[in-house]
Amino acid sequence: MVAARDADVSKQTKAPIGAWIAWARQSAFAQRALAILAELLPKGLYARALLIIITPIVVLEGVIAFAFMERHWQAVTRRLSEATARDIAALIDIYEEVPKADGPQKIIDLARDRLGLTMEVLPTGDLPPPKPKPMFALLDRALSNELRRHVQLPFWIDTVGETKYVEIRVKHDNAILRFIATRSQTYASNSHIFLLWMVGTSVILLTVAILFLRNQIRPILRLADAADAFGKGRSIPDDFRPRGAREVRQAAVAFLQMRDRITTHVDQRTTMLAGVSHDLRTVLTRFKLELALLEDTPETRSLAADVNEMQDMLEDYLAFAKGDGGEEAKPTNLRELLEEIQEESLMFGAAIELKMRKRKGDLVLPLKRQALKRAITNLVTNAARFGDTVIIRAATEGQWVRIEVDDNGPGIPPSERENVFRPFYRLDHARNQDEGNSGLGLAIARDIAKSHGGEIALGESSMGGLRAIISLPL
């Protein structure tokens, strides 16, 4: 008894678990299906808006077509097939009652003149074997049902032979009666008009929708281009102004107001930093002059080194706070810029090499020249400080330009490669900055790269050291 009770409890416990597992599997399958559907659906607003318009039209016309085909067309076909079956049944009754001497010809004339049917009396025999059913067997099925109900004799029909006619053979006791009717007599043949009407109206509606949506989407695309250009530090097109629907105009006005606020903030910050930089440099210059008037002693040399280190740190702090300084993006020859950086960086004593893929023409990009020069110089300076060999590479990949700075130094562990972009972050290993570095070089470089709409990442170089990669959009 106890074992049986335990078994029942076990079954009751397993049942909800099994149901939960089945639900979980179904839910996972549904999630996968939704994920696949999301991948297949269009990503652009224009395509999605068209899909929103097209889908109801297709569904509505599908419902109308189904109702027409299943109700109206089928009902009309059934009535026409019934009328044809009744005419054939009446001709068969007349054939049985009229004398055989001259009756068949009169019946044939009656069928041709009054009923629009072609009738022949064939010798008795077997009916032909059944032919394959047509793809749409509505006519075949409706006509067969009506003949079976009204004629009540063995019959054979051919609805797939001649395109314009339907052949019907009825087996009588002493003959085979052959009837030929036009298809318009047996089923509704004007369905193509309805289908053409649906297709025509759909094309007109879609054309209007495409033209309307194109005009509505264009202001959104212009706003996106303007925001993208502003984010990359490039000038906004002169003809840009709020256009389109009310909501799009509101977004464009909000964007212009935000741009003005950001521009004003950057200008104010630049002005403030220029004043602070001037005042602090004046004090440091006075320190240097006072130290120069003192005797050359170990203490004065130490103070002079501290003043130089303070000046370098001040320059880094101001550069980080200043960012790109509101510099406008201008067409810049990338090769000339990298060659200038290479020449100026040779003072660090490391072997610096520049490699660029051969192109038909120079690569000219809209860049903030001084800001990008500062970013790449920071990477080269960092590489030359810890390596003996530095290689600068530049190449285009798709819609991006890729600038790499490789060295043969100790490198940075993968776990620390993201942390070094944090301001004032310092490493506790071979690349530790105990040489007067403020820890802002990489942070400044990433900030400048992002102001161009790009990114900067770190990896391992082919020489075993660090590889810094700047990616900028073309």
Task: Say which amino acid occupies 296.
Answer: D
Round to whole Å and give the CA distance between 64 and 52: 19
- Residue 197 covered by a domain: no
Please report, for the domain that includes residue 99, its CATH number: 3.30.450.300
Residue 353 forms beta bridges with which residues?
Answer: 391
Neighbours of 117 (CB within 10 A): 20
Q: What pLDDT is stored for residue 244 in this prediction?
A: 79
- Residue 32 covered by a domain: no
- Residue 17 covered by a domain: no
Question: Same structural domain for residues 98 and 161?
Answer: yes
Round to whole Å and give the CA distance between 40 and 66: 28
Q: In this structure, what token pair is assigned to residue 326?
A: 């509101």
Share of the chain above pLDDT 70, in %: 79
Residues 6 or more apart in contact with residue 463 via CB below 8 angstroms = 387, 389, 391, 406, 407, 408
Q: Which residue has the higher pLDDT, 94 or 160?
A: 94
Question: Same structural domain for residues 314 and 231?
Answer: yes
pLDDT per residue over 14-69, tens digit each? 455 555 555 555 667 667 777 776 777 767 777 777 778 778 877 887 777 777 76
Q: How many domains does the chain have?
A: 3
- Residue 353 covered by a domain: yes
133 — alpha (psi -120 to 50), left (phi > 0) or beta? beta
Q: Which of 290, 322, 354 is where one domain is finished?
A: 322
**Exposed/middle/buried for residue 466 (C-beta within 10 Å: 0-12, 13-18, 19+):** buried
Residue carrying structure tokens 């002059």 = 289
- Residue 58 covered by a domain: no
Question: Same structural domain for residues 287 and 352?
Answer: no
Round to whole Å and give the CA distance between 338 and 347: 15
Residue 332 forms beta bridges with which residues?
Answer: 365
Q: Which of 273, 301, 322 is where one domain is finished?
A: 322
Least confident among 20-34, 148-162, 352-366: 20-34
Residue carrying structure tokens 């285009």 = 396
Question: Same structural domain for residues 72 and 137?
Answer: yes
Strand runs (DSSP E) across 116-274, as ranges?
118-122, 155-158, 165-171, 176-182
Confidence of residue 305 (pLDDT cuts 50, 70, 90): confident
- Residue 297 covered by a domain: yes
Angle separating helix axes 103-110 and 74-97, nearest 10 degrees: 160
CB 440 within 8 A of CB 378: no
Round to whole Å and give the CA distance between 360 and 251: 42
212-217 mean pLDDT: 81
Q: Which residue has the higher pLDDT, 406 or 421?
A: 406
CB 299 within 8 A of CB 423: no
289-314 mean pLDDT: 77
Q: Which residue has the higher pLDDT, 458 or 55?
A: 458
Residue 122 forms beta bridges with which residues?
Answer: 176
Question: Same structural domain for residues 250 and 174?
Answer: no
Q: Which of 279, 303, 322 is where one domain is finished?
A: 322
Question: Same structural domain for residues 399 and 438?
Answer: yes
Question: Same structural domain for residues 447 and 373?
Answer: yes
Task: Say how far residue 16 (Cα) sits from the centre of its chain.
Answer: 41
The answer on pLDDT for 100 being more than 70 is no
- Torsion sign, CA atoms 125, 129, 135, 138: positive
Question: Same structural domain for residues 282 and 383?
Answer: no
Q: How far is CA 144 from CA 6, 141, 403, in A?
A: 65, 5, 79
DSSP string across 248-271: HHHHHHHHHHHHHHHHHHHHHHHH
Round to whole Å and give the CA distance between 16 and 419: 49
Question: Same structural domain for residues 224 and 158?
Answer: no
Question: Same structural domain for residues 336 and 261?
Answer: no
Q: What pLDDT is stored for residue 94 in this prediction?
A: 84
- Residue 19 covered by a domain: no
Strands 364-367 and 466-473 come out as unpaired
The answer on pLDDT for 9 being more than 50 is no
Round to whole Å and give the CA distance between 219 and 45: 12
Round to whole Å and give the CA distance between 242 and 251: 8
Domain enclosing residue 294, as ranges: 220-322
Round to whole Å and give the CA distance between 446 and 420: 11
- Residue 460 covered by a domain: yes
Q: pTM here?
A: 0.49
Please report, for the domain that includes residue 421, its CATH number: 3.30.565.10
Mean of all residue pLDDT scores within the chain: 77
Question: Same structural domain for residues 375 and 452?
Answer: yes
Question: Same structural domain for residues 133 and 163?
Answer: yes
